[in-house]
């Protein structure tokens, strides 16, 4: 039997990469899915690729007004839902000496503030006994030069998963995190990395390759389903051995 039959899931940052592959897997497992993104063209393309069991809604998680609109749209579309995958995020590479206030504010606004208020605005629409999954990063346990703000913002999200687990016990909503290592996603092309950095990252990855988005999606499915019913406040590391070997 499909693991998400009769479940409804909301995935922020669901138009590409990990979010898109997770939406595809959730649908294959029987779920109805709502994906969000900031670019309407990408939303339309993702919806066309994913098929009839997905709805796309434009929303920028750093805007509380847009999150309020997202909540209204979800309420009008499906009413209540069961699974929240707070996945929207960005990564910008810069030596800490060169980070501007605007750079700092944007990365924190999307990665941490966005995750926090996504949960705050959408939690009232979740059914009791649901599952929340927050995307963190292996860089909340180790370091990569030029990613100080990204790592710190995701470490805050890791802490949030613990705190929310306590605060949502009364509703039996489980909150866990998935921590990707180096994954082949569009985020890499947006980081303006020097040509030698991907090779350096690969050299630090014991398994000897970059991960695929669907490999993270499988971990998210586990956390979303009843297979992880005795887990809360946990972080699953899917990083090819980066922080463990």
Q: Which pLDDT tens digit goes with each residue over 33-61?
A: 999 999 999 999 999 999 999 999 999 99
Q: What's this model's pTM, rounded to 2 decimal places? A: 0.96
Residue 3 counted as domain residue: no
- Give 4's pLDDT tier (boundaries 50, 70, 90): very high
Token reading at 218: 């499988």
Tell me the per-residue pLDDT of 185-198, one tens digit each, with 9 for 90 and over.
776 655 666 677 77
Would you say residue 164 lies in a domain? yes
Local confidence band at 93 (pLDDT 50, 70, 90 cut-offs)? confident
Q: How many domains does one find in the chain?
A: 1
Answer whether residue 120 shows pLDDT above 80: yes
Span 233-242, pLDDT tens digits = 999 999 999 9
Range of the domain at 16: 8-195+213-238
Give pLDDT tens digits for 206-221.
999 999 999 999 999 9
Residue 120 belongs to domain with CATH number:
3.40.50.720
Q: Which amino acids are annotated catalytic?
A: 150
């Amino acid at each position: 039997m499909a693991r998400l039959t009769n479940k409804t899931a909301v995935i922020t940052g669901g138009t590409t990469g990990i979010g898109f592959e997770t939406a595809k897997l959730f649908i294959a497992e029987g779920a109805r899915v709502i994906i969000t993104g900031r670019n309407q063209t990408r939303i339309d393309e993702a919806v066309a690729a994913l098929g009839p069991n997905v709805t796309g809604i434009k929303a920028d998680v750093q805007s509380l007004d847009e999150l309020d609109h997202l909540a209204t749209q979800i309420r009008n579309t499906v009413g209540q839902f069961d699974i929240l995958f707070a996945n929207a995020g960005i990564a910008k590479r810069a030596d800490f000496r060169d980070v501007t206030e605007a750079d700092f504010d944007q990365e924190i606004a999307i990665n941490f503030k966005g995750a926090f208020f996504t949960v705050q605005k959408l939690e009232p629409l979740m059914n009791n006994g649901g599952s929340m999954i927050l995307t963190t990063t292996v860089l909340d346990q180790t370091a990569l030069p030029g990613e100080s703000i990204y790592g710190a913002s995701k470490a805050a999200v890791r802490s949030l998963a613990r705190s929310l687990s306590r605060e949502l016990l009364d509703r039996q909503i489980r909150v866990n995190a998935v921590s990707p290592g180096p994954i082949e996603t569009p985020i890499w092309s947006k980081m303006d990395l020097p040509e030698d950095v991907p090779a350096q990252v690969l050299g630090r990855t014991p398994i000897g390759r970059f991960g695929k988005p669907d490999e993270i999606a499988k971990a998210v499915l586990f956390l979303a389903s009843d297979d992880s019913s005795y887990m809360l406040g946990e972080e699953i590391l899917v990083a090819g051995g980066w922080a463990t070997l």
